[in-house]
Chain A
Amino acid sequence: MDQLITEPKTLSNDEIFGVLNQFITEVIGEEFVDEMDITPDSSFTKDLEMDSIEIVAFSEKVKIYFGENINFTGWLSNMDLDEIISLKLSDIINYIRLCQ
């Protein structure tokens, strides 16, 4: 019998960025995102102006999406205050790349 074998898909930086961008949109709302210039260099606190409850909501989405392969919540919950304040999208992209 023919079987479609799906290899665990490895996402490129751009693809991961696209997914994260989508989650940010879901958390803060499309109309606000339209006015922002979100790049991998954007920081959650300073550039995206997300507060703690929004960062937690965002991380829930990342956890659900990438859940099987990466311990995202564990990684995030090990960050100290300064690390969370300076957290950028690229940090998350790099972490996900590392885990893939």
Chain B
Amino acid sequence: MGKFVFIVPPLTGHINPTLSVGAELLDRGHQVGWISLDENLGAQLPEGGQLLLIRYDQNDQEKSNSEQYLDIITKKIVYGIESIKFLYEEVLVPLNRHMFDGIVTQLDLFEPDVVINDHQLFAGATAAYLKGIPYATSVTAPAAVKMMEDLPKIHEWEINQIIALQKELGLEDEKSVACSELLTMVFTSQDFFGAMELPGYYHFPGPVIGHRKKTAAFDWEKFNASNAPKILVSIGTTFDHAYKSDFFGKVIEAFGGENIQVVLVSDPDLFTEWPANFIVQSRVPQLDLLPHVHGVICHAGHNTVSEALYQGLPLVVIPIAYDQSHVAGRVVATGCGVRLNYRRFKARHLKEAVQEILSEPDYKASAEQIGTSFREAGGTAKAAELLESLVLHKAEVTLNR
């Protein structure tokens, strides 16, 4: 049996897919660990999964402040293309630099057969590469791959940031090793990703959403009591309160008192009062909930979009930052929903957009088609098979160095 280790950043959207794939690997009798900075990850791991927590000597001032990296992405209000600069310069590069030594230590202790690095945790790939351990890459934000085509200079800029850090960490090569040339798993289907020429080591196992622990309680009674159409509203986990009050204020204006049941993911304290037709919780059992709603309003975060489309649900997408603009572009291009501009949209646009996706059957039909492509892509079982193939053929695996 194999020994696998995931190396994850403290970002929910990047961790969740690894929990599904990891659970599947554990079911198949493998040993699975997660290298992380966040001790709270332990409670989310599937039965049998091992948390390999990065800990630095508390006397070392440089490295004692791991906590500050856990919510580093929420520290600044960012929007649009500028957010990419923030993401690399103020989040990813410092985070990767901070995690590198701890990753190396944990790899030495755990001695995995295969490393799976998140595509934005290039320090994980660098460590595996330097140690000669076969590694696969988990791509949880596929639009980042697509950016190579649309805005090549921005992609080049990203790669240069990665290469500069790799050099600092002792890898002299002039190429980014962030995505494994053995196996790079893009967690979507090719239908949703769109046409693009990619090397053969890119695989599309579809979204991986099975095997999750149920962690959030939910007011099912209130939810089921409503006969109105139901929508889920979420802008994910990385945006702070300023974004949320702005965004959810418009949601309240659009749907408060209307004949629609709104489930909204937010800290309920954000507003002193919510409309009676709203259920507001800071965490919801999203995967259990989606089969019972009719549409989703979200920030075009890749996981929420994938989970909605998996259930064949039409979307209203309002991208805020990072790769979300591109994910939203794919939602529109595949006919699965309507896109609004975060800075410009007003309550009435949101209301019209929701009416449109709920009343026009083409959106639902397109979403169901993408949902089918997701299921056919193989999901967790396919991802686990791909990873197992790296252990089975470990002897044959020769790294490029």
Using a CB–CB cutoff of 8 Å, the interface residues on chain A facing chain B are 28, 32, 45, 49-56, 77-85
Contacts and interface: CB of A to CB of B under 8 A. Distances in A.
B153 A77 contact: yes
Interface stretch (B79-87, B209-217, B245-253, B361-369): B79-87
Contact of A56 (B85, B151, B156, B341): B151
Contacts, number: 64
B343 interface: yes
Nearest to B147: A52
Contact of B344 (A49, A53, A77): A49
A55 B106 CA distance: 43
Main secondary structure of the interface of B (DSSP, over half): helix
Interface string B308-343: 000000000001000001101100000000010111
Nearest to A77: B152
Given A51-B319, A77-B152, A81-B154, A28 B81 contact: no
Contact of A49 (B80, B157, B326, B329): B80
A54 B152 CA distance: 16
26 contacts: A28-B344, A32-B341, A32-B344, A45-B81, A45-B82, A49-B341, A49-B343, A49-B344, A50-B80, A51-B319, A51-B342, A52-B80, A52-B147, A52-B150, A52-B151, A53-B339, A56-B329, A79-B153, A80-B156, A81-B81, A81-B84, A81-B85, A81-B157, A82-B85, A84-B153, A85-B85
Nearest to B160: A80
Main secondary structure of the interface of A (DSSP, over half): helix
A66 B251 CA distance: 41
Contacts of B154: 52, 80-81, 84
Contact of A77 (B79, B80, B151, B342): B151
B153 A28 contact: no
Contacts of B328: 53
B325 A51 contact: yes
Nearest to B327: A53
Contacts of A49: 79-80, 341, 343-344
Contacts of A54: 325, 341
Contacts of A53: 319, 325-326, 328-329, 339
A74 to B, nearest CB: 10
Nearest to B328: A53
Nearest to B343: A49
Nearest to B326: A53
Contacts of B82: 45, 85
Interface string B212-240: 00000000000000000000000000000
4 smallest beta-carbon distances between A and B, as pairs: A49-B343, A53-B329, A51-B325, A53-B325
Contacts of A52: 80-81, 147, 150-151, 154, 325-326
